[in-house]
Structure 1
Amino acid sequence: MRKSHWTPSIIPNDNDQTAYLVAEDFGKLGRAWREAEYEATDLETVIQDLLSGQYNNPFRVVAFNTAESWSQDVSADVAAELRRRCEQQMRELPHTISDFVNRHEMPDRRQLALLLI
């Protein structure tokens, strides 16, 4: 019996769409790219999923666009947007993403705590 060496592609079929994938740390089980439905790889959906606790311990977000032949780690940009939205809504960062935001936030963008005397 012949074995097939074909594997399904994770590359989007649309001509020009940027996809965002989240890598998550599963502790002793290791790190992996989270499985996502094709329609759920746009930036807004990924941000909403992060804010709603769909990811327990994300450590990286990568964007790629095959039509334009590029990929990029966008973790710092996503962390800044997560912080901005939580501040805008006057709420704390969800515990599921606080480590991610603190790890990827640009040092000059972190807000310093004020000491109350």
Structure 2
Amino acid sequence: MPRSPSIVPQGADHDVYLVMNDFGRLGRAWCEADEEGTNREAVIRQLFEDHYSHPVRIVAFNTAEGWSRDVTVDIADEVRRRFSEYDDVPRSVAEFLESAVRR
């Protein structure tokens, strides 16, 4: 029987960030992302670009180092620090910050 390809990044010793988005009636799902869009800076930039309609959770992992953790509050804190750099902050970001405070 053929083996399924691994979803673990090959030769990648870096942190990967994934965003869970709430799609309302359709439920929650981890958003699809290309490899270059899964680092910390890219996820923060995508939040400000309104890439996610309703982000609810962000996790980070590093398979080479063997760890994973929920970084929702860490990312929310970073977004809050950068708030003043942006003229117009998407509603999805404001809602994300409100929900992260309740964690």
Q: TM-score scaled by structure 2?
A: 0.89
Correspondence for 1:17: 14
Question: Separation in 2 of the partners of 1:15 and 1:56?
Answer: 29
Change (3 A) 1:41 1:106: same
Question: Separation in 1 of the partners of 2:86 and 2:23?
Answer: 30
Shift of 1:106: 7.2
Unaligned runs of 5+ in 1: 108-117
**Residues 23 and 58 in structure 1, CA contact (< 8 A), matched pair in contact too:** yes
Question: Separation in 1 of the partners of 2:20 and 2:5?
Answer: 20
What RMSD in Å do the two structures reach over aligned CA positions?
Answer: 1.9
Correspondence for 2:55: 58
Question: Separation in 2 of the partners of 1:53 and 1:12?
Answer: 26
Unaligned runs of 5+ in 2: none
Please give the secondary structure, in 2, of the residue aligned with 1:39.
helix
Residue type of the alignment partner of 1:53: D
Q: How many residues align?
A: 103
Q: TM-score scaled by structure 1?
A: 0.79
Question: Separation in 2 of the partners of 1:35 and 1:52?
Answer: 16
> What aligned pairs does 1:1-117 form with structure 2 within 5 A after superposition?
4=2, 6-87=3-84, 89=85, 91=87, 93-105=89-101
Change (3 A) 1:11 1:84: same
| Structure whose alpha-carbon radius of gyration is higher | 1
Shift of 1:10: 2.2
Which runs of 4 or more aligned residues in structure 1 lie more than 6 Å from their structure 2 counterparts after TM superposition? none
